[in-house]
Structure 1
Amino acid sequence: MTTLGAVFRPQLPPERLRDVARAADDAGLEELWLWEDCFLESGIASASAALAWTERLHVGVGLLPVPLRNVALTAMEAATLHRLFPDRVLLGVGHGVQKWMAQVGAQAESPMTLLREHLIALRALLRGERVTTDGRYVKLDDVALDWPPAAAPAVFAGAVGPRSLRLSGEAADGTILVAGTPPDEVRRARRLIDEGRAASGRTDHHRVTAYLHAAIGADGAVRLAAELERWGDASTADVGAAGDADTIAEAVQRLADAGADTVVLQPTADEPDPEGFVRFVADKVRPLVP
Structure 2
Amino acid sequence: MAMTTLACIIRPSTPPSRLIPLARAVEAAGIEEIWLWEDCFQSGGISAASAILAATERARVGIGVMPTPLRNVALTAMEVATVDGMFPGRLIPGIGHGVQSWMSQVGAKAASPLTLMREYATALSALLAGERVTTSGKYVSLDDVALDWPPARPVPVPVAATGPKSLRVAGEVGAGVVLEGSVGLPGLPATLERIAEGRAAAGKDGLDGFPVIQFVSGGTGPGATERLRAEVNGAGSDVADDEQLAGYAVWGDAQALADGVRRFGAAGADTVAVYATDDDPDFERLVAVLGEANELLGKDS
Letter in 2 for 1:225: R
Query: Are residues 1:128 and 2:130 paired?
Result: yes
Selected match of 2:277 from 268, 271, 287: 268
| Cα deviation, residue 286, structure 1 | 4.1
* Corresponding residue of 1:283: 292
Q: Which runs of 5+ in 2 are unaligned?
A: none
Contact 2:162 2:183 in 1 (8 A): no
Q: Tell me, in whole angstroms, the C-alpha distance in 1 between the residues paired with 2:94 and 2:23.
A: 19
Q: Tell me, in whole angstroms, the C-alpha distance in 2 between the residues paired with 1:264 and 1:286.
A: 16
Q: Tell me, in whole angstroms, the C-alpha distance in 1 between the residues paired with 2:158 and 2:15.
A: 26
Contact 1:4 1:286 in 2 (8 A): no
Contact 1:154 1:173 in 2 (8 A): yes
Q: Which runs of 5+ in 1 are unaligned?
A: none
| Cα deviation, residue 288, structure 1 | 3.8
Give the TM-score taking structure 1 as reference length: 0.96
* Corresponding residue of 1:62: 64
* Corresponding residue of 1:256: 265
Query: Are residues 1:88 and 2:97 paired?
Result: no
Deviates more, 1:225-234 or 1:261-270: 225-234
Q: How many residues are paired up?
A: 290
Q: Tell me, in whole angstroms, the C-alpha distance in 2 between the residues paired with 1:96 and 1:77.
A: 19
Query: Are residues 1:219 and 2:223 paired?
Result: yes
Contact 2:218 2:249 in 1 (8 A): yes
* Corresponding residue of 1:97: 99
Contact 1:82 1:89 in 2 (8 A): yes
Question: CA RMSD for the aligned pairs?
Answer: 1.4
| Cα deviation, residue 235, structure 1 | 2.8
Letter in 1 for 2:28: D
Query: Are residues 1:235 and 2:239 paired?
Result: yes
Q: Tell me, in whole angstroms, the C-alpha distance in 1 between the residues paired with 2:193 and 2:168.
A: 9
Letter in 2 for 1:129: E
* Corresponding residue of 1:166: 168
Deviations 1:171-204 (A, max 9, x none): 0110000112222421222211111111111246
* Corresponding residue of 2:21: 19
Deviations 1:11-46 (A, max 9, x none): 110110111111111121111101111011100000
Q: Tell me, in whole angstroms, the C-alpha distance in 2 between the residues paired with 1:181 and 1:249.
A: 20
SS of alignment partner, residue 211 of structure 1: strand
Q: Tell me, in whole angstroms, the C-alpha distance in 1 between the residues paired with 2:226 and 2:254.
A: 17
* Corresponding residue of 1:201: 203
Selected match of 2:189 from 178, 187, 207: 187
Contact 1:214 1:266 in 2 (8 A): yes
SS of alignment partner, residue 279 of structure 2: coil
Contact 2:69 2:103 in 1 (8 A): yes
Give the TM-score taking structure 2 as reference length: 0.93
Letter in 1 for 2:153: A
Letter in 1 for 2:121: L
Q: Tell me, in whole angstroms, the C-alpha distance in 1 between the residues paired with 2:186 and 2:230.
A: 23
Q: Tell me, in whole angstroms, the C-alpha distance in 2 between the residues paired with 1:128 and 1:46.
A: 25
Runs (4 or more) in structure 1 with deviation over 6 Å come to none
Query: CA 1:233–1:285 in 2, change beyond 3 Å: closer, same or farther?
Result: farther
Letter in 1 for 2:10: F
| Cα deviation, residue 104, structure 1 | 0.3
Letter in 2 for 1:233: S
Contact 1:157 1:176 in 2 (8 A): yes
Contact 1:29 1:279 in 2 (8 A): no
| Cα deviation, residue 164, structure 1 | 0.9
| Cα deviation, residue 233, structure 1 | 2.1
Contact 2:23 2:34 in 1 (8 A): yes
Letter in 1 for 2:68: V
Identity %: 49
Letter in 1 for 2:106: V
Q: Tell me, in whole angstroms, the C-alpha distance in 2 between the residues paired with 1:261 and 1:228.
A: 21
Q: Tell me, in whole angstroms, the C-alpha distance in 1 between the residues paired with 2:225 and 2:187.
A: 23
